[in-house]
Amino acid sequence: MSIIESEALELLEFDRIKKYISDFCNSSGGKQKAAELTVYTESDELQISLHRVAELKNTLSSNSFFPDIQFPEFRKEASLLSLEGSMLTADQFLVLKQAVEIANTAIRYLKNRKAVVPFLAQLVAELDDNKVVIDEIDRIIDFDATVKNSASRELQKIRKDLSEKRRESDVKFDRQVNELRKLGYIRDNEESFFNGRRTLAVLVEHKSEVNGFVHNKSESGKTIFIEPGSTIAINNDIAELEIDERREINRILRELTDTLRPFSLQLKQFETLLMELDFIKAKARFAVLINATLPVISQTPQLKLNRAFHPLLFLQNRELGKSTVPLTIQLDNNNHLVVISGPNAGGKSITLKTVGLLQVMLQSGLLVSVAENSVMGFFKHILIDIGDTQSIEHELSTYSARLKNMIAILKAVDESTLVLMDEFGSGTDPELGGAMAEVVLEELVKSKTLGVITTHYSNVKLLANQLSGVLNGSMLFDLETLEPKYLLTVGEPGSSYTFEVAERVGFPKHLITRAKQKIDTDKVDLNKLLAEIQQQKTKLAEATDRVEHQEFLRKMAKEKYEVLFNNWKDKTERERERKIDLARLADFGKKYLRLMEEWNRNEDRKSVIKRFIDGITAETNKRKELAKQNKRDQFAEKKVARLKPLLKIGSKVKILNSSEVGVVESIKEEKVNITFGILKMTVNIENLELVKE
């Protein structure tokens, strides 16, 4: 069985996610990758893909520079270049040049930022930029896709001759125009072009007076277009030179194609790189759009979603100016199944779809809209049964179809499977369907599969409360307004609020009373108790929200105070340094004023010069020493910042330029207490080096 069926992806609306990413792609190759986006079968490949998107998303979010990946499509040009005997046009060479320039920039950027974006840098580990292609194209082709005169001596000579011939032709043509205009033989629009040759618009009654070659006649028949005889010979020369020019240009372009053919494989690699970067950037831009992050990736199948949002619902609500209620849910070895109950339209299905869509997104290499401290694992199978799957084609009833889904799920489930089932056991008689649901739930518990199940059946809620590894959950509901809170709470089942809703909307009370009498009293009491518990939960959640809001305000106030305090400290430090500089300048001024006075009144000016030089030398040495000290301080700070996180009690260390290995006993700020046998010492961090095990 595949990791997730295409029908399940459809139910989760994964195609809409792919559409967003496709729209963010600039290249057809990137859009093709978005269209083919699917779950990874290997967790190692998945982790690499996720980290690449996270690196680029962080770069974009911090407004840091990232090369522009909008490149012209050049697959056709790269393929043509690889064919023996082929010839690229000047326009095609410019396309290649632009693409190579963009690829070069991307390669240099990623290689230079290997420490910051290591996973993205892996894409160019085996690639080098290519200056030869750009230089060779620049040598031959101009910015406007014309072959340069300097491309060959022959072309330069041909174009020089062409220029002279055209100039000579223009002079003779203009002379003829002036003569015929005076005679009144030509119309006001005295010239036209036919087959690239200039012609005179001669009045038909004067055609015999004009020597030349007739090219055309006007529709009215009143004008004859004649190429003057004086320019025919020279125009023939021009036509011949133009043929020579085209042949020489083709020879040059063919030669350039041959020169660059050895790079055709590298150009195809560049195309692969740029398409991949375009695709990754599209995924990163989508991540920015939905405030997505990279959760902690677990080596074992588990889910711990904190403040998770359904990305499509989040975008829809944001457009409408509405807030989206976050979801928090945890599935692990201890509690691997959650049974969610509650009223219709309370958010059960969207909770289930949120879990499914986020897991599919993550396993497709996309960042997900969850808090960064969330934990998500890799599942070998994601099995989904949502909604009415009745099939007319196979003549299956709703219940039959759902039973078939259950059979398929039970055959595939194990510890590395995620199961999502909506309206568990529905589609038949409630009592019989509830019994079947109980059996299936027990089998799911035995399989240790992880999953989320929604139900209205009380017997399933009660069974969930008894089975080890299963938790009941409910969607909070406001009894006063009868409005859903769309907030999942885990710990006890939820009420369906059947009678409360009926009463609030005006259903006759005597009919509600009769309905209650027709069902088990214990069931009514249970439903009432669940409703009261949920109401208390709702009030508790609201109180918690208020406390969290107050804590948020306190934290913001503290951060504001710290920012203001740090700004004040910086300003005070800058002011102190400014005063020191002013005092030093004043001291310099006094010294050199005295030297000037001595210079003016002292006959022995050599001694004054010597004192001046000595003063400058002393000040220069002082500044050099100060610069060295600053450099040492900066080095020490960097070393402390790098080494401090690695040091812990029990770490083995050495003092610089020493061979004795000691053990860290305690760390306080930048001081470390170390034991060397029976000797104890306190050493600054910058004077230590870590000894590897």
pLDDT tens digits, 15-46: 999 999 999 999 999 999 999 998 888 888 99
* pLDDT at residue number 450: 93
Which amino acid is located at 192 in the chain?
S
Question: pLDDT (tens digit, 9 = 90+) per residue, 598-631?
Answer: 777 766 777 777 777 877 787 787 778 777 777 7
DSSP assignment of 52-67, as one string?
Answer: HHHHHHHHHHTT----
For residues 547 and 539, what is the distance between their CA atoms, to the nearest angstrom?
12
Residue with structure tokens 């019994």?
Answer: 435
pLDDT given for residue 395 in this prediction: 43
Burial per residue of 287-298, b for 16 or more beta-carbon CB atoms within 10 angstroms, e otherwise: beebbbbbbeee
Cα(540)–Cα(548) distance, integer angstroms: 12
Q: Which amino acid is at 673?
A: N
Counting other chains too, the contacts that 128-131 makes at CB distance below 8 Å and 24 or more residues apart are 129/103, 129/104, 130/100, 130/103, 130/104, 130/263, 130/266, 130/270, 131/104
- Which pLDDT score, from 0 to 100, does residue 418 have? 92
Are 534 and 477 spatial neighbours (Cβ–Cβ below 8 Å)? yes
Structure confidence at residue 137 (pLDDT): 95
Which residues of the chain register pLDDT less than 50? 1-2, 388-396, 494, 522
| pLDDT for the residue numbered 212 | 86
Whether the model pTM is above 0.85? no
**Which strand (E) or helix (H) includes residue 435?**
helix 430-447
Tokens of 461: 């809620």
Count other Cβ atoms within 10 Å, centred on residue 106.
24
- Percent with pLDDT over 70 in the chain: 84
Q: How far are the Cα atoms of 185, 186, 206 from residue 182, in angstroms, in the given order?
A: 8, 9, 13
What are the pLDDT digits (tens) for 387-425?
644 343 444 456 676 677 777 788 888 888 899 988 765
Largest CA distance in the chain: 127
Q: What's the confidence (pLDDT) of residue 393?
A: 41
CA distance linking residue 653 with residue 641, whole number of Å:
16
CA atoms within a 13 Å half-sphere pointing along the CA-CB vector of 33: 23
Q: Which residue has the tokens 């009660």?
A: 462
Per-residue pLDDT at 390: 39
pLDDT for 602 equals 66
What pLDDT sits at residue 387? Answer: 62
- State whether the Cα torsion 5-6-9-10 is positive or negative: negative
Residue 481 tokens, joined: 């307004």
Look at residue 368 in the predicted model and tell me its pLDDT: 96
What is each CA distance from 403 to 96, 396, 412, in whole angstroms? 58, 10, 14
Candidates 409, 298, 279, 319; CA nearest to 8 is 409
pLDDT in the model for residue 526? 53
CA 170 to chain centre: 59
Distance, in Å, from the CA atom of 420 to the CA atom of 358, rounded to the nearest integer, reads 12
Residues for the chain: how many in total?
Answer: 693
